[in-house]
Amino acid sequence: MNLNSTKEMLIKAQEQGYAVPAFNIHNLETIQVVLQAASDLKSPVILAATPSTVKYADENYLLAIIEKANEINTIPLTFHLDHHENAEDIKRIITLGCKSVMIDASKYEFKENVKIVKDIVNFAHKYGASVEAELGKLGGIEDDLVVDEKKSFLTNPNEALEFVKLTGVDSLAVSIGTAHGLYKSEPKLDFERLDKIRALVDIPLVLHGASGVPYDSVQNAINKGICKVNIATELKMPFSSAIKEYFSKNPDASDPRQYLVPAKKAMYDVVVEKIKMCKSENKAYDYSYNV
């Protein structure tokens, strides 16, 4: 299987001051939408799948679809495991051809987090796969991942430096005030904390929970060193809303080839907006593969 890791993608983004958007996908239609928008805007893109998405769609189908997409598209793209916690599942999917994974052990104490991440890094690097980990803990809800806001905490810059040295991880998701799911009020990002982390840590930094974060705040985070931005909730909402609207106007409809069309269009518009927010438009030409 010939999929790319995210390592080169994120290093290039870091060097050139933009972020690679990572969109959570769930099925063929959402993969098609993300790739169409990324192709139209000539943007590198990461197709991310949470554990519940892998369980729903099956990793074999997802990998086969994305491998074919990699063959027929002329933009840099890859498949990424997002917020996976089961080490054995991650290792198994790596052996199937996945080249980019996130091991989320952020719910554990620092030493245990390091131990779990280091094990995955050692395994993944043997297969040419890149590894993302998280230090700090985002609150909110993403699929089956639920973290009470009271249990969330921000990333300690000094711990981030030690964590990267001890684990050998390729990218680090940092907690600077974002959350998963919908926000009750506008999030306030801790840019001073991000500056301190960036000054100490030289690997690519990742921003999770970007759905609903103001455009300018995300771009400011990118200017300060974020080079991968995760978007999930803001894609699902327009997709489902368009289907609901279609059925309200066409209550007897039954053909998914009809009611999924407006859903894909609604989602496409959001993907385009987020690619521009990440400043990754027209960056696909600068890669040595698939262009």
Is residue 233 part of an annotated ligand binding site?
yes
The amino acid sitting at 151 is K
Q: Where are the beta strands (DSSP E) in the chain?
A: 20-24, 45-49, 77-84, 100-103, 130-135, 140-142, 145-147, 171-174, 205-207, 226-231
Residue 195: active-site member = no
Buried-exposed string 37-49: b where 16+ CB fall within 10 A, e elsewhere = bbbebbbbbbbbb
Is residue 232 part of an annotated ligand binding site?
yes
Do the Cβ atoms of 41 and 275 come closer than 8 Å? yes
* Tokens matching residue 228: 């991968």
Is residue 211 part of an annotated ligand binding site?
yes
Is residue 139 part of an annotated ligand binding site?
no
Is residue 8 part of an annotated ligand binding site?
no
Is residue 4 part of an annotated ligand binding site?
no
Instruction: In whole angstroms, give the CA distance from residue 157 to residue 194.
Output: 8
* Tokens matching residue 9: 């993608």
In 3D space, the residue among 30, 26, 9, 27 whose CA is nearest the CA of residue 18 turns out to be 9
Is residue 159 part of an annotated ligand binding site?
no
Instruction: In whole angstroms, give the CA distance from residue 238 to residue 287.
Output: 31
Do the Cβ atoms of 37 and 280 come closer than 8 Å? no
Is residue 89 part of an annotated ligand binding site?
no
In 3D space, the residue among 142, 140, 138, 141 whose CA is nearest the CA of residue 152 turns out to be 138
User: Which residues lie across from 49 on neighbouring strands?
Assistant: 81
Is residue 84 part of an annotated ligand binding site?
no
Instruction: In whole angstroms, give the CA distance from residue 263 to residue 192.
Output: 39
Using only the alpha carbons of the chain, give its radius of gyration. 18
Is residue 231 part of an annotated ligand binding site?
yes
In 3D space, the residue among 223, 111, 192 whose CA is nearest the CA of residue 159 turns out to be 111
User: Which residues lie across from 78 on neighbouring strands?
Assistant: 46
Is residue 70 part of an annotated ligand binding site?
no
Do the Cβ atoms of 29 and 65 come closer than 8 Å? no
Q: Could you say which of 58, 82, 216, 252 is catalytic?
A: 82
Catalytic residue numbers read 82
User: Annotated binding site for dihydroxyacetone phosphate, which residues?
Assistant: 181, 209-211, 230-233
**Residues contributing to the annotated binding site for Zn(2+):** 83, 104, 134, 180, 208
Residues annotated in the binding site, as ranges? 83, 104, 134, 180-181, 208-211, 230-233
